Structure 1
Amino acid sequence: MIKDSEKFADEDKKVKDRVDAKNELESYAYSLKTQLSDKEKLGGGGAGGAGGPGGPGGPGDVPPHSSQGHDDDSL
């Protein structure tokens, strides 16, 4: 019985590592999907049509940077 467990220990470890990696990837994918969904609900995604939360003038818009005649490196 002990010999059997030693015999399959390496294969069991490989299977466990593969399952752990799959679970980690699925968790990351779910987290990413949730973050993107939340961002769209808040209007941060630029995919909304004009007049919607993601449209022009919405909370996701950032005004362009203006250097006003001087180089940013000289500040």
Structure 2
Amino acid sequence: MNEEYPFSITDLHTTPLGVERIRRNLDLPDSIDAVNFCRSFILEDFAKFERKGKNWYVTAGHVRVTVNAKSNTIITAHKI
């Protein structure tokens, strides 16, 4: 696991619209917690972090998660 993260993993959250967007983009069923699903990708050993402007882009495996750097809000996630 990465020793240090550029944002607080425990403070990650999203909005109700963010949950819908993440579920739609990743084809997740309603039974899966979208924030915990994204957190699991961010915690992967091979996750790569890239800062562009106000957002962090975390790529792990076949998923890219976008996190607002200031508020720790998961904005979206996409298959890549």
TM-score range, shorter chain: under 0.3
Larger Rg: 1
> Normalized per residue, which structure has more strand?
2
> Normalized per residue, which structure has more helix?
1
Q: Which has the higher contact order (CA 8 A, sep 6+)?
A: 2
TM-score, normalised to structure 1, is 0.21
